[in-house]
Structure 1
């Protein structure tokens, strides 16, 4: 075993009042720092035993048995630690909160094998090799800026994933959309992979549940600044939902179409819109329950300069300070 590996060893006796329940259900209750899927895999692999014997996840126990966990956590060797600059806004023994800039990819992939948030996390926090996906529990698109939380331990990872699943983690985004909204609302439309465009998502009856709440912060002549709160966390959710209801995000090359400009747009605004090459979306607020202390915590992130400049142009246009010509 190398120094980067971590070994988990634990023994616990099954209380008598938990008898006649399934092995995997009892184990999930007694080893609650770990996810059910991880526990089931350990049972199947023989790392979690009953009185020294391997058993099936569905086997019923009578109570009084000794459950023994002995597993080696093998790091993801294919992910390299790299010195990637990260803006850390909070860190403690259990979680890390970072403010991701525009252009930084979160997770390595075919097109971006390195130089990602994950690579930078492994460099700064080597112990994350023992945590799934180096502790990353939710992602931001490459060209979306803002806050994301990372788990430093297995128990924190389990807690954060649970908070995402039961929708108690709060995530709010600021976005600039094309079109003037009359008011806020809710988009409750399932999202799945686009049937013909491989890299796109779409509203589809066979997709997974997706719910986005949105409210108007500011209206301009042809655009609206909105605040979105995610109830679910599907890939490209805000981008897909806003385009679906006819208010695509400014600069969204994938879902807004090319050079979508209002008919009466003036020259300075048109130039500003053409030069805005990414979706105008910022993860502005994050709240969660701390995995170890149980205390509610929250963080805010200031809007990046490119969105501030864009809004300043739209504000000047709304106030009639710009020439209305092309």
Structure 2
């Protein structure tokens, strides 16, 4: 069925046929777990396609909240900072930092947290990334404090990757950090007063010892921290502290802290997914259909990125543009379809020289 509101030019560029939304939603309801697994693998394939023999790759994992305002399967109460008490979905996403593309996604009910149950999923994402980048590439898996889970860290280590996560600051760890000695300064202010200091903390949890999991505990304390949760442990100075867990025993503490801070790029990417691709919307009452919708939107993002890389190799600065601007200059272009005799002519307004011509 052709949508009655479809633009003739858009229909022509789509091959002459454009289904209405009801048809699209009906097709989404045909997806089951097997189809979604194949679709998710396709998302990962295109998300990894731009990685060409990297020496180091960073796999960032994070979750987000999709508040729901209808009768959706799997919509349950859970953590929801903006709409407290509102049912939601709680998807988990994996991002390659070097290409800013998604290589794994799974829609989950709103009451699903992050813990040992996610270890097999993370292992699968690591294995697919490793198969693409090769055995000699160093891989870091970066997760926020939810990654301070022995099962998750052990799984990452067993699959040949470094984990780098922020530690959960319980009383035992806070006490050890508060009395730690041997802080080394690596940044000073104009008056030669220490601004940033690091220390390796002698601390191990019982479950780490039981699994024989080697964890390096690195603390960074700083002056004038402007964002994030502030943790003060000392009365005689104004340092705030962050603690990171890793199995990288070689890199310097300050390099590890910077490497973790670079993980922040996944948050604007998720915001881009929501604003430009609408992953925060659930079009169906069926859970599998909403999973398929999520994956199709992520696939569209990766395909747009690949198109920019191929078609505009001479303009590498476009790689840093967000999807709304890329859509504006590449996709949302006004035009007029003119039929004359047996010919079809597409007329477009004048555009900059780097814009591709649509045929």
With normalisation by structure 2, the TM-score equals 0.23
With normalisation by structure 1, the TM-score equals 0.25
Write 1 or 2 for the structure with the bigger share of helix: 2
Larger relative contact order, structure 1 or 2 (CA cutoff 8 Å, min sep 6): 2
Write 1 or 2 for the structure with the bigger share of strand: 1
